[in-house]
A and B are shown apart, each in its own frame.
Chain A
Amino acid sequence: MPTGFGWDFRTQYQKCQWENHEYKGRKYKDALYEKVSDNIARITLNRPERRNAFSDGMFNDLGAGLHEANDDPDVRVVIIRGAGTSFGSGHELSSPTEEESPPINPKLNPTGVDYYGLERRRCGKHEDIMNYPKIIIAQVHGYCIGASEIVAQMCDFVIAAEDTQFGVRGFGRFTFGIANWPGFWPGESQKAWCGHLLGEISGKEAADGGMITKAVPFAQLEEETMKWANIVCEMPPQILFFAKEWLNVIADISGISTAWRQHYAEHLMLQYVHFRPEEVSMYKVRRDIGLKGFITSRSAASTPDAEVK
């Protein structure tokens, strides 16, 4: 098992992550690529049995789909959505040890450089989605947790079902740094801050707080998403690239690149955490009572008075 993760990474200054994944002749499996119309491409995250948790295979297929859409001169907007009951439940925590989606297992004895390289690759994917040269719309329903929430937030528009659940108790979105929510960057009003960052919020609450574009009843989700996609297609070519670049530069000027790096470092530091006996340790609990048991006990620990579902 190679542990030299640090030496294998490519930074955003070289090829973007999606350009690393070839699409010619590709049999999409964990994320599916299609053209809805000449100008609209759609990528469907396709591990519904795992609530579209991100495995390495899904990230690779997502990257290939973005690459294909980017190279297609007719495509002006990309929709990302999830198959089944959810948009996505975050990183696949049950992935095989050698995969990069779950946290690195301490058994691999990684160095600090290995950890940092992994975080850079993991978060580089998200950053590259934010800097994607075409417009992306996230069509969100069901669970949208962790890394899936970050992917959705990297998109230019987020259209969600009103009963979407963003985040989960015990995890929220404040845990892993400010880069999770460029939805409020750099506005940072009290409305979007603090209480809304800690636990679960619904699609409706996220829309009311200005953190996503719009929330609609689930039955209208697909139609609403297509409406926005069609509007984007009416805009003059090229201008949206420049307008998006402009807003991203403003985010950069106000410090988002530093926030990403702080995010890598924070993730890395969390790997070195030594749990006290009363604290919930994922590795220990998952080993003892399984992943579901870990998620339940984490929620219970964070909100002990709440009803645990």
Chain B
Amino acid sequence: MAWKNIKYEVKDNIGWITLNRPQKLNAFNDALLRELDEILNQAEMDLEAKVLVFKGAGRAFSSGQDMSGIGTSEILHPDPWSRVTPKELLEGERRRQRRWEYIMNMAKPTIAQVHGYCLGAGLFLSMVCDITIASEDAIFGDQVTRMGILPTMPLWPWMVGMKKARELLFTGRNIPAKEAEAIGLVNKVVPASKLDEEVARWAHGIAQHHGDALAFAKDAINGVMECRGVGSAFRITTDLQMAVLQRPTKSEDLAFYELRDKKGLKAALEARDAPFKNFP
């Protein structure tokens, strides 16, 4: 099967999954998602791939969901004016959520190798990976609350605690790699020139261990999180997002999608972030 938006290669027991839309900063669209689903199926069953590494081609890990609205009906929730039944809305939200939960629960260790932008869905991918190693130039964040949508990654409070989760999600601010490391989003930060070597070192080191032991160790940790309710947290996230998407909008809400369709995605993103320009 020839994949275009993702490259997959297994070498020395490491499965290298490279997001490959560099001209779009590896933004997730439906085509990329389809390929990702196929590759994950294959990678999960491939006993030769003991550790999976996710990385991005070009300048960034991933800038998140493709907000263009073109070929994005699976990755994005429906536009506010589209006539979608609540059932379709719920099913779409569930699929979006379950993918992250599935990656989190894959029976082999996963590493996110992050450089450049790691935003939105890109950040979700990094968060559901077991380990994240980033270069010093990496930037992490999720601006989705600025657009009036719930950030649909319930791992936030688990990973960074309630205070940092509130701070980052209620303001939508981006943070540099060192700050992400300090608050627990990232395991290690290295100079950009050392990133490939550092990730390879970790991946090969982990791959030395017996595959079953790795699978059980990971499952034990995820089992503890499950006891604490992470599965229910994914579920409630879907349900609350439904409430958010169906709420009556007010005139002071940013009309992001209207602006995008009239003036283009760049203008819409600028309007979204303009009030926060001076906020670090």
Interface residues of A (CB under 8 A from B): 135, 156-158, 182-187, 189, 192, 208, 210-214, 227-228, 231-232, 234-240, 242-247, 249-251, 253-255
Asked if B163 is an interface residue, CB under 8 A from chain A, the answer is yes
Residues of chain B within 8 A of A192, CB atoms compared: 161
Q: Which A residues touch B229, using CB under 8 A?
A: 250, 253-255
Contact-size category for B:
35 or more
Check A236/B233 contact, CB under 8 A, given A210-B163, A247-B165. no
A238 contact set on B, CB distance < 8 A: 148, 244, 247, 250, 253
Q: B164 in the interface, Cβ–Cβ < 8 Å?
A: yes
Of A236, A244, A251, chain B has the most CB atoms within 10 Å of the CB of A236
Cross-chain contact B170 with A250 (CB below 8 angstroms): no
Contact of B170 among A243, A245, A249, A254 (CB under 8 A): A243
Is B102 part of the contact surface with A, judged by Cβ < 8 Å? no
Q: What's the count of A-B pairs with C-beta under 8 Å?
A: 130
Known contacts A156-B170, A184-B162, A213-B163; A247/B157 CB under 8 A: yes
Contact B145 A239 (CB under 8 A): yes
A-B contact pairs, 12 of them (CB 8 A): A183-B163, A186-B158, A187-B158, A187-B184, A210-B184, A214-B167, A234-B146, A238-B247, A240-B170, A247-B162, A253-B232, A254-B233
Q: List chain B residues, Cβ under 8 A from A250.
A: 154, 157, 229, 233, 236
- Specify which of A211, A237, A249 is in contact with B236 (CB 8 Å cutoff): A249
Asked if B164 and A210 make an inter-chain contact with CB atoms under 8 angstroms apart, the answer reads yes
- Residues of chain B with a CB closer than 8 A to A228's CB: 171
B138 CB to closest chain A CB (Å) equals 19
Contacts of B150 in A (CB 8 A): 239, 242-243, 246
CA distance A255 to B229 in the complex (A): 8
B228 A186 Cβ-Cβ under 8 A:
yes
Shortest Cβ-Cβ A-B pairs, 7 listed: A253-B229, A187-B161, A234-B275, A236-B148, A183-B163, A254-B228, A254-B229
Map CB proximity to A onto B237-258 as digits: 1 under 8 Å, 0 otherwise. 1001001100100101110000
Write the nearest CB–CB distance from B144 to chain A, whole angstroms.
9
Bound-state Cα–Cα, A246 to B276, Å: 23
Q: Mark B146-184, 1 if CB is under 8 A from A, else 0.
A: 111111001011111111111101111000000000111
Q: Is the CB of A246 within 8 A of B161?
A: no
Per-residue interface assignment for chain B, residues 125 to 157, with 1 indicating a CB less than 8 Å from any chain A CB and 0 otherwise: 000000000000000000001111111001011
Shortest beta-carbon distance from A187 to chain B in Å: 4
Complex interface: chain A residues within 8 A of B276 (CB): 231, 234
Task: Check B170 against A235 for contact (C-beta < 8 Å).
Answer: yes
Residue of B nearest to A232 (CB): B170
Evaluate whether A185 and B157 lie within 8 angstroms (CB atoms) in the complex, with A210-B163, A240-B145 already known. yes
13 A-B pairs besides A210-B182, A235-B172, A242-B240 with CB distance below 8 A are A185-B157, A185-B161, A186-B228, A187-B160, A211-B163, A227-B279, A238-B244, A239-B148, A242-B244, A245-B240, A249-B233, A251-B157, A254-B229
Q: Which residues of A contact B165 (CB under 8 A)?
A: 247
Which residue numbers of B lie inside 8 Å of A, CB to CB?
145-151, 154, 156-167, 169-172, 182-184, 228-230, 232-233, 236-237, 240, 243-244, 247, 250, 252-254, 275-276, 279
Interfacial chain B residues near A246, Cβ < 8 Å:
150, 154, 236-237, 240
Residue from the list B160, B169, B233 in contact with A253, Cβ < 8 A: B233
A residues near B182, Cβ cutoff 8 Å: 208, 210
| B8 CB to nearest chain A CB (Å) | 33
Q: How far is the CA of A234 from the CA of B247 in the complex (A)?
A: 19
Q: Are B161 and A189 in contact (CB under 8 A)?
A: yes
**A254 CA to B145 CA, complexed, in Å:** 23
* Contact with A186, one of B157, B236, B275 (Cβ below 8 angstroms): B157
Q: Which residues in A have their C-beta under 8 angstroms from that of B162?
A: 182-187, 247, 251
**A187 & B157 in contact (Cβ 8 Å cutoff):** yes
Least Cβ distance of A31 to chain B in Å? 23
The answer to whether A243 and B151 have CB atoms under 8 Å apart is yes
- Chain A's closest residue to B146 (CB) is A235
The residue that A237 contacts in the complex, of B146, B156, B228, B250, with Cβ under 8 A, is B250
Complex CA–CA separation, A240 to B240 (angstroms): 12
Write out the residue numbers on chain A whose beta carbons fall within 8 Å of the beta carbon of B170: 135, 156-157, 232, 235, 240, 243-244
Residue of chain B at shortest CB distance from A250: B233
- Chain B hits for A184, CB < 8 A: 161-163
